[in-house]
Copies of this chain bind each other. A is one copy, B any other.
Amino acid sequence: MFILILKMTTITNTADALQHPLRWGIVSAGLISNDFVIAMSTLNPSKHVAAAVAARSVNDAEKFAKEHDIPKFYGSYEELFQDPDIDVIYIGSIHPYHLPLAKQAMDAGKPVLCEKPLCMNSKETAELIAYAEEKKLFLMEAIWVRHFPVYRKLKELLDQGAVGDVKNLIISFGIPIGDKDSCKYPNLGGGSTLGIGIYCVQLALFVFGQQKPEVVSTGCLNKWGADENGSTTLKFSGGRLATFTTSYNTLMPNEAFIVGTTGTIKMHSPFLSTSTLELMPDGNVFEFALPVSSKSTILENSTGLSYQCLEVRRCINEGRLESPVMSHWESQLIADICESIRKQIGVVYPQD
C-alpha cells in the first residue's frame, strides 16, 4: 500500500485574454456564499476578486463585505447586476430564486455561475439554458466537485480500467440538516434530492457516461411534503446500476464505492467533496491536497469551491458559453433525473 499526496494541479491556462482580475459579484450573503468567497481568497488575486456582494438586507450585505474585505455591497440584487465593474455573477441564494435571479443578471449582460440545482425542475432548467443561449452569455451550474483534481484522477483510473468494467456505484449520503427551513419547506426548495441527492446523480453521470438512465426511486416525505430521505437506483446500459441513499435526518457513512469487475475505487468520506480516492483491494491511496485558507469554512473541504472559479475564467477567456466539464446538456439531464426521483417519492414544488 502506498499513499500518494498530490499537489493541486491547476487547469492549464491557454492565452489569457482577460487583462485584469475576474471581478465577481456575489448574490446572497448566506452560508455557501461565505465559503465561496473564502475559497476564492485562496486564488491569485490578480485573477479573481470578490468585487461586490448583494443581499436582500443591506445590513447583511455590509456585514458580509466587511467580514470578507469586499469593497462594495448592495441591498438589492439589481444594483449588483447593473454595476459596470462586475464581470461575472455568482448566485448563492436558495434554489427557488435561481431562475429569476439568473435571468435578471443576464438581462444586465452578466455571465453567471449558479449554485446547484440550477433550477427547481426540468422546465425551469430548460428555460434558463435557452435564455443564456439566446443572450449569448456564459452559464454554468456550480457542481463544484466536478472541477476537483480528484475527479481528473478518477477519470484517469476509469479510463485505464483500473477496476475492470464498472458495474456498480454505491453511495450513502446523509446529513442531519432537515430542520433548516430551506431543507424542510417545499416552497423554499426543501428536500434531500435537490439538496444533496444531486451530488450522487452527478457522480453517477460522471462514472457511467452521459446517457439517460432509467430511474427507480422511493423515499419518505416530511410533514410539509419535502423528501426527508430517499433511495434511488439509476439503471444504465450494460447492466450497470448506481444506487444511492440520501437522508436529511441522519449522518451516514458518506462514502462512495465504484465497483468494477476487478476492483473498487472508494471515495472517502465526505464523498461529496472528497480529496481521497482509494483503490481496492490493493489499498493504494491518492490524496489531493485542497487549497488552504486561514479562515475556516462552514462546509467540509469547501475551499475546493475555488476550482470552479478557474473553470469559469478559462471558459470566459476562451469565449465559451458553456463549460465542457459541466455542460448545459448535462445540467438538463441532472434536472430531469432529479425531477423523476422526487416525483416518484411524491414531492411537488410550487414551480411544477
Q: Which of A246-260 contact B (CB under 8 A)?
A: 247, 249-253, 257, 259-260
A245: Cβ under 8 A from any B Cβ: yes
Indicate if the CB atoms of A252 and B170 lie closer than 8 Å.
yes
Complex Cα gap A247–B241 (Å): 10
Complex Cα gap A264–B245 (Å): 15
Indicate if the CB atoms of A245 and B241 lie closer than 8 Å.
yes
Q: A174-B168, A257-B172 are in contact. Are A231 and B250 (CB under 8 A)?
A: no
Residues 159-178 of A, flagged 1 when their CB comes within 8 A of B and 0 if not, give 00000000110101010100
Complex Cα gap A245–B259 (Å): 11
A318: Cβ under 8 A from any B Cβ: no
Q: A229-B167, A243-B245, A259-B174 are in contact. Are A235 and B218 (CB under 8 A)?
A: yes
Q: A241-B219, A264-B251 are in contact. Are A172 and B174 (CB under 8 A)?
A: no
Indicate if the CB atoms of B259 and A247 lie closer than 8 Å.
yes
Residues of B within 8 A of A217 (CB): 216
Copies of this chain, whole number:
2
Q: Pick the contact of A257 from B220, B241, B252, B266 — CB < 8 Å?
A: B252
Indicate if the CB atoms of B218 and A250 lie closer than 8 Å.
no
Shortest CB–CB separation between residue A184 and chain B, in angstroms? 13
Q: Pick the contact of A261 from B170, B231, B249, B261 — CB < 8 Å?
A: B249
Shortest CB–CB separation between residue A246 and chain B, in angstroms? 10
Complex Cα gap A251–B258 (Å): 11
Nearest residue (CB) in B for A217 is: B216
A239: Cβ under 8 A from any B Cβ: yes
Residues of B within 8 A of A260 (CB): 250
A233: Cβ under 8 A from any B Cβ: yes
A127: Cβ under 8 A from any B Cβ: no
Nearest residue (CB) in B for A220 is: B239
Residues of B within 8 A of A228 (CB): 239
A214: Cβ under 8 A from any B Cβ: yes
Complex Cα gap A152–B296 (Å): 44
Residues of B within 8 A of A253 (CB): 170, 257, 259, 264, 266
Q: A174-B168, A249-B167, A252-B264 are in contact. Are A241 and B218 (CB under 8 A)?
A: yes
Residues of B within 8 A of A218 (CB): 214, 216, 233, 235, 241
Indicate if the CB atoms of A259 and B250 lie closer than 8 Å.
yes
Q: Pick the contact of A216 from B216, B247, B249, B259 — CB < 8 Å?
A: B216
Q: Of residues A170, A174, A229, A264, which shows the largest number of chain B Cβ atoms within 10 Å of its Cβ?
A: A170
Indicate if the CB atoms of B243 and A243 lie closer than 8 Å.
yes
Q: Pick the contact of A233 from B172, B231, B252 — CB < 8 Å?
A: B231
Shortest CB–CB separation between residue A190 and chain B, in angstroms? 15
Residues of B within 8 A of A174 (CB): 168, 259
Complex Cα gap A266–B235 (Å): 27
Indicate if the CB atoms of B170 and A245 lie closer than 8 Å.
yes
A residues touching B (Cβ–Cβ < 8 Å)?
167-168, 170, 172, 174, 176, 214, 216-220, 228-231, 233, 235, 239-241, 243, 245, 247, 249-253, 257, 259-261, 264, 266
Task: List 10 A–B pairs whose Cβ atoms lie within 8 Å, in order of A's numbering.
Answer: A168-B229, A172-B257, A218-B233, A228-B239, A231-B243, A233-B233, A233-B245, A241-B245, A250-B260, A252-B257
